[in-house]
Amino acid sequence: MSDKKLFLLDGHALVYRAHFAFIARPLINSKGVDTSAITGFVRTLWDLMQKEKPTHIAVAFDPKGNVFRHEYFPAYKANRDATPEGISIALPYIRSIVEAFNIPIIMVNNYEADDVIGTVAKQAEKEGFTVFMVTPDKDYAQLVSENIFVYKPGRQGNEIEILGVKEVLESWDIERVDQVIDILGLQGDAVDNIPGVPGIGAKTAVKLLKDYDSVEGLIANSEKLAGKQKENIVNFADQALMSKRLATIDINVPIQFDANTFIIDPINREKTMELFMELEFRSLAAQILGAEVQPVLGQQSLFADIPPAGPRNAPAPAREEFQIAKNNITNVDHKYDLVDSEDKIKHLVTLLEEQSSFSFDTETTHIDAHMAELVGISFSWEGKTAYYVPVPAEKSAAVAIVAHFKGVLENPSISKIGQNIKYDLAMMKWYGVEVSGFFYDTMITHYLCEPDLRHKLDYLTEAYLDYKMVPIEDLIGKGGKNQITMRDVPVEKVKEYAGEDADLTLQLVPIMQKMMAENELDELYKKIEEPLIRVLCDLEYEGIRIDGDFLRNYSKDLEKILAQKELEIYKLAGSPFNIASPKQVGEILFERLKVPYRWKKTSSGQYSTDFDKLSELAGEHPVIDAILEHRKFAKLKSTYVDALPLMVNDRTGRVHSNFNQARAATGRLASENPNLQNIPIKDEAGREIRKAFIPRTEDYVLMAADYSQIELRIIAEISNDTSMLEAFVAGNDFHKATASKVYSVPYDDVTATQRRNAKTVNFSITYGAGALNLSRQLGIKTTEAKELIQSYFREFAGLKNYMDTTVASARDLGYVKTLLGRRRNLRDINSRNSLTSSNAERVAINTPIQGTAADMIKIAMIDIHRTIKDRDFKSRMVLQVHDELVFDVFKPELEELKGIVSDCMRNAIPGLKVPIIVEIGVGNNWLEAH
């Protein structure tokens, strides 16, 4: 263990812990102030400093307001109660005491304390520190390594706990530390309102991970599950991935560990004395400051007998709080001009016409471009200089102003620079402008270079420009009824904010260009991601029509089903009760019906009856299964059936999803608000929802085109495995052909069990499933699984060679690429921790496969979109869902479009050895077409 010991304290977690430790008998001083949390925190801090003798230390606090997790899941932590008054009072005092102790406070806006601690811990480990994360929070277990530990302070007489890799693996019953995140993603977290997967609790999550290794592996192998478990994994796959993402501590926070900043310094006695005097901390003053305190009345004489300080306790200057970025709009010279007259507008247009490229950004009233109104446009083509054009609310007047810029924005010879420029293209489209030219998007270029990091503009400016941007909340306020829109903000403030957006985006370009060149990603951007911006803009603009009457009728059907389920539940329970009341459900199940309860009760002393707990009890009593069914239908009704009609755009009568290019590290698109990729398809009740997606008019029909077994075909292509290629070229049932090879039996003699086993192996091997994992999936002995894997690799030697050479190359280069050059960095591939490196190996093997599939459908979308425009079709592409494209087809164009779509999808990547199969369906709704 290193002599350099860094202790990182989770301030908020320790404050909450201290507060509730005294909840039965709170500590109240003579002023009526609850000092419980302050006392408990200070005692913990001082005891740690005395016993553990850290060489370096810091305390992390959560920032005020939302964090980045709210950006993609607004309901994150929505269930949390208001902060107890005692904690609200305590926090300012605790921060002051920490500063008086000359301990640095680290806090980064938009990130929680665990993200900051995780980032600093990983950085410090690389500099040879042994790091102790001081927290009661179990989530920190995901960060543990051979040099990073969770330090849980003692409580109520218990000794401290120090958890390393061994302890985490044993206590969580997992094989790798990072599987902590998978468990949290599957079981969810009621405290943080992380939904998880219905029916999966901690024990079930552990069991599933032993079989399928990760959330991703479980989803990929969902067909191997059965019953409700399979149904839930399939239907809630995106929710599981989102939950895992919510539970993942971000170790790439824009903060840099500086060992000198964290060195233990002497306490500032004067400041500490002043605070302890105000709080009436007599015993702590004596313990920490060596004060001999007399029990006298009167605040003035409380510290009268404090002896003079020796050299060890000499006052030291208070250290500044750890800063993220030194530059901001107040200390950087800049020139952001307001363009608010016709003469100024004409002059600006003249200047823009002289540029070969410029950055532009729109200010609007809403984050959804299809619901927003334009407030203004900012332009920049020179660093620290920008121009802001305000736009009035009245639509015709706004269109008239925008029209001045139509020529320059539609000029194809002028490149347009933006951050998430697709949003700005969509806004301009609503105001009659089809922005043209080459699009340079700093969000997407950064995503290509660092797909696993964040890509918002404020993150990029802090990370690459050492610049802290003006938060939007400073202008419009935080969320809630008092939040205003950009329209209501004084134009001078908007000018500065908008100018900053365009200016800083422009300043990022040379940095992004250098990164793109170094990573050899320019061609990928030009060929795929840049033209896809326009494709997605148009696709989102079209939207898809929803049959609201169908959903409203289906909602009534679900109401009847729910009513029937209620009667069934009442009959099984022996009396009516409130099914929505956790308290009443618990009393019925565990007191009246005597179902065994094997968990801790909630903090309020109630039985826990969440979906996870009940799912673990499924089958133990008929009423439990009935309650779970009731909840399933209720969730389906609220999440989809009742919600989708509310998402219909008033302007168009259609639903407009956002397709995010910079979300999934594999390169796949992510559908958001609403997530149309997560519409249930395998559940019969869920499939009904797809019936609600219909053509725009009676003259149209929906057409769905889907790649067949695309990832398996890409595996065959990339690995160049002879046996796999032969099976696909021959047009055989691939899983049956695999079974024939592996079991050494004629193709026609393959049994259903052999085919099932072969199918499991086909999808499991590339996810790194070993013999133990495979034996559990197939219900066979480990020795049989080993023989099956050996036989598989004997027959598919090309695949084994691909896996070995890919991992070897990744270890050497530190990254992998798809066939078309999409790159994914693998920072853990050479980790000394075998479990960490093995996980990186799996990513190395999978990324070229999944990423190539993503590239392929993107190219197909670009080619199809171009052809539709060139031929002036009325038909439109309206959805992309995984490996499927959905079209709103003008009936007279149907047959011709079928051929175009099939051809473009099959030949997206020309020259492949493996045949690409595209299945096309047509119908009057999405379910019929699928």
Mean pLDDT, rounded, for 695-718: 95
Q: Is the pLDDT of residue 703 over 90?
A: yes
Position 879 confidence tier, pLDDT thresholds 50, 70, 90: very high
Residue with tokens 């959560």: 62
Q: Which of 785, 744, 750, 794 is nearest to 764 (CA)?
A: 785
Whole-model pTM: value is 0.65
Strand duo 148-152 + 130-134: pairing? parallel
Rounded Cα–Cα distance for residues 335 and 445 (Å)? 27
For 475, the token pair is 């202008």
pLDDT at position 156: 53
Position 75 confidence tier, pLDDT thresholds 50, 70, 90: confident
Rounded Cα–Cα distance for residues 523 and 516 (Å)? 9
Q: What is the pLDDT of residues 343-370, one digit of tens each?
A: 999 999 999 999 999 999 999 999 999 9
* Cα-trace Rg, the chain: 30
Q: Which of 309, 312, 310 is nearest to 270 (CA)?
A: 309
Mean pLDDT, rounded, for 742-771: 82
Q: How many other C-beta atoms are found inside a 10 Å radius of the C-beta of residue 14?
A: 23
What angle in degrees, to the nearest 10, is found between the helix axes of 782-795 and 771-778?
110
What is the CB-side half-sphere exposure of residue 878 using CA atoms within 13 A? Answer: 28
Q: Is the pLDDT of residue 135 over 70?
A: yes
What angle in degrees, to the nearest 10, is found between the helix axes of 269-279 and 85-100?
160
Rounded Cα–Cα distance for residues 876 and 899 (Å)? 15
pLDDT at position 302: 31
Q: Which of 164, 209, 158 is nearest to 184 (CA)?
A: 209
Show Cβ contacts of residue 812 under 8 Å, excluding neighbours closer than 6 positions. Answer: none
pLDDT at position 169: 92
For 891, the token pair is 């009936």
Q: Is the dihedral of CA 397, 400, 406, 409 positive or negative?
A: negative
Instruction: Determine the distance from the C-alpha atom of residue 46 to the mean position of all C-alpha atoms in its chain, rounded to a whole number.
Output: 37
For 720, the token pair is 């160049």
Mean of pLDDT over the chain: 88
Q: Which of 211, 121, 202, 153 is nearest to 21 (CA)?
A: 153
Q: Are 673 and 658 in contact (CB under 8 A)?
A: yes
DSSP letter at 144 equals: -
Q: Which of 856, 907, 896 is nearest to 872 (CA)?
A: 896
pLDDT at position 682: 72
Position 318 confidence tier, pLDDT thresholds 50, 70, 90: very low
Position 158 confidence tier, pLDDT thresholds 50, 70, 90: low
Q: Is the pLDDT of residue 294 over 70?
A: no
Q: Is the pLDDT of residue 382 over 70?
A: yes
For 894, the token pair is 């149907």
Show Cβ contacts of residue 532 under 8 Å, excluding neighbours closer than 6 positions. Answer: 661, 858, 861, 862
Q: Is the pLDDT of residue 762 over 90?
A: no
Of residues 762 and 392, the one with the higher pLDDT is 392
Edge to edge, the sheet with strand 415-418 lists 335-338, 385-390, 374-382, 357-364, 415-418, 439-441
Strand duo 700-707 + 884-890: pairing? antiparallel
Q: What is the pLDDT of residues 250-265, one digit of tens each?
A: 999 999 999 999 998 8
Q: Is the pLDDT of residue 314 over 80?
A: no
Q: What is the pLDDT of residues 578-636, one digit of tens each?
A: 988 888 988 888 888 888 876 766 645 678 788 777 877 777 888 888 988 898 888 88
Rounded Cα–Cα distance for residues 671 and 844 (Å)? 25
The one-letter amino acid at 747: Y
pLDDT at position 61: 93
- Containing H/E element for 425? helix 421-430
Position 82 confidence tier, pLDDT thresholds 50, 70, 90: low
Q: Which of 880, 419, 927, 474 is nearest to 702 (CA)?
A: 927
Q: Give percent above pLDDT 70 in the chain.
A: 92
For 285, the token pair is 């003053």
Q: What is the pLDDT of residues 15-50, one digit of tens each?
A: 988 887 876 667 776 566 788 899 999 999 999 998
Q: What is the pLDDT of residues 443-482, one digit of tens each?
A: 999 999 989 877 999 889 988 898 989 888 888 887 777 8
Rounded Cα–Cα distance for residues 192 and 190 (Å)? 6
pLDDT at position 363: 96
Position 776 confidence tier, pLDDT thresholds 50, 70, 90: low
Mean pLDDT, rounded, for 874-894: 96
Q: Give percent above pLDDT 90 in the chain.
A: 59
Lowest mean pLDDT among 66-80, 225-239, 514-528: 66-80
Rounded Cα–Cα distance for residues 472 and 484 (Å)? 11
What is the CB-side half-sphere exposure of residue 24 using CA atoms within 13 A? Answer: 3
Rounded Cα–Cα distance for residues 516 and 532 (Å)? 18
Q: Which of 927, 879, 878, 874 is nearest to 896 (CA)?
A: 874
Q: How far apart are the first and last CA of the chain?
A: 59
pLDDT at position 345: 97
